Every structure is written in structure tokens, then in C-alpha cells.
Amino acid sequence: QKEVEQNSGPLSVPEGAIASLNCTYSDRVSQSFFWYRQYSGKSPELIMSIYSNGDKEDGRFTAQLNKASQYVSLLIRDSQPSDSATYLCARKGNTPLVFGKGTRLSVIA
Amino acid sequence: NAGVMQNPRHLVRRRGQEARLRCSPMKGHSHVYWYRQLPEEGLKFMVYLQKENIIDESGMPKERFSAEFPKEGPSILRIQQVVRGDSAAYFCASSPTTSTSSGNTIYFGEGSWLTVV
């Protein structure tokens, strides 16, 4: 049973649109959730963390967490071609971070 | 404030040789994590260490792989008798010593790309 599931994509959105990235997890003890961005050939870069149910906004990014549904998402508003990357969802409970395989996002100019 | 430092960035080894990857955590961080990323795959947890202690090695292959984080110096991930399947990106990450919620965040180094020929 996979612990963190993401649609591998690619997800293609036009420039300026909202990109919606989704993630589900199976471990009910997970407490913290993270979104990382990874450009090809580069290391993961932390975008946002979220610990409580609801929305958390940071600039063009909004993370949403629903612990009852075991669901976390990332919205990117006004998507830019520079947002094209793989987005990794991760959860942390009693173990170190467990990552999904990531969703490839392509923003078309 | 320097980030997580990894070296070498790229390493080529012949089958059967040893690969040794080094990681210096961010200043003030005493928790180190090693992850492996195979081509087109996600990040897989390998091992979690604190100074002189292995906390969780549940992701480490049973043979040929070992890790340490000595009292002085960087953390080292050692792969003995490498095989072609070991070719991957190996990422080190570190986190602060505090137990606050922000202490759960880990920060990655630039990675070490191992190629076994």
C-alpha cells in the first residue's frame, strides 16, 4: 500500500491559469504535510508546509489540508512557465518525511 | 548561512568499487537524512541520523550500504561493491534540533549523482 499518492501527470495548464495539484495519504497519524518543487536535475525545494485543516496561503501558492479525507492539495495561481517542474507531496508522522512520486506540471506560454 | 552541502556532486564508479558520499548539514542542524531518487522515481527515504547515532535505517538496503554521522565531520553514506542499479541521485537533508513544528521541516542539499559504469 502506497503511503502518499500523487497523479504523475503531466498536468498542463496555460500561463495565467490556476494549477491544482492533489495528494492523498494513507497514514492517519500523519501530522505535517509539505509541498516541494523539483526542477529537472535539481534538488527539492520547499514551497509550503501545512499542519492544520484548512487553507494556508503564501503568495501565489495555497495549500489545503483535509485530515478527515486524508487529502492535501496545492493551488498555484497565475501560473508562470517558470512554475513548470515536478511537485512533490510529503507527509510526516512518526517517521521521517515520506514522499509521493510527484506530479509534473507544465505551464504553457 | 550556508545550506546543506553535499560532495561530490557527480561521481562515476565502476562496478565493484566503493562510493562514498558526504553531507554537511546546515549550521545549527543536528539531524541528517539520506534519500535516494532513481530516474523517474520519487524520493525514497534511506536513513535518519543524529550525531553518533542512527535513529532510523528502515530504508537502507540490507547489504553494501552504510551511513554514519560522527561527532566531528560530515555524514557519510557508503556504498560498497556498487552495481549499475545503484546509479541514482542521493540527496542529503537536515533539520533543526528544536521540536517545534518548524523543526519538522527538512532542507535538501544539491544532491550527489552517482553513475555506475
How would residue B100 be classed by pLDDT, with cut points 50, 70 and 90? very low
Residue A1 burial by Cβ neighbours in a 10 Å radius (0-12, 13-18, 19+): exposed
Contacts of A43 in chain B (CB under 8 A): 91, 108-111
Question: What is residue B56's predicted lDDT score, i.e. its pLDDT?
Answer: 93
Cβ-defined contact of A96 to B45 (cutoff 8 Å): yes
Count of positions (residues) in chain B = 117
Q: How far apart are CA B116 and CA B13, in angstroms?
A: 5
B52 within 8 A of B69, measured Cβ to Cβ: yes
Q: B103 pLDDT exceeds 70?
A: no
DSSP string, chain A: --SEEE----EEEETTS-EEEEEEE--TT--EEEEEEE-TTS--EEEEEE-SSEEEEETTEEEEEETTTTEEEEEESS--GGG-EEEEEEEESSSS-EE---EEEEEE-
Q: B97 pLDDT exceeds 80?
A: no
H/E stretch holding B32: strand B29-37
Which grid coordinates belong to B78?
557508503
Per-residue pLDDT of chain A (109 residues; tens, 9 = 90+): 568 989 878 899 999 999 999 999 887 776 789 999 999 999 999 999 998 899 999 999 999 999 888 999 999 999 999 999 999 999 887 778 889 999 999 999 9
Q: How far apart are CA B43 and CA B29, in angstroms?
A: 21
A32 within 8 A of A51, measured Cβ to Cβ: yes
Question: What is residue A3's predicted lDDT score, i.e. its pLDDT?
Answer: 83
Of A49, A96, A102, the CB nearest to B48: A96
Residue of A nearest to B37 (CA): A101
Contacts of A97 in chain B (CB under 8 A): 33, 45, 93, 106
**DSSP single-letter state for residue B15:** T
Of B101, B106, B111, the CB nearest to A51: B101
- Interface residue of A2, A97, A98 to substitute, partner B, most B CBs within 10 Å: A97
Of A88, A97, A101, the CB nearest to B106: A97
The stretch B48-53 carries a mean pLDDT of: 92
Question: What is residue B110's predicted lDDT score, i.e. its pLDDT?
Answer: 95
pLDDT tens-digit profile of B12-42? 999 999 999 999 999 888 899 999 999 878 8
H/E stretch holding B45: strand B43-50
Question: What is residue B40's predicted lDDT score, i.e. its pLDDT?
Answer: 76
Contacts of A50 in chain B (CB under 8 A): none
Determine the distance in angstroms separating the CA of A101 from the nearest CA of chain B, rounded to an integer. 4
Contacts of A30 in chain B (CB under 8 A): none
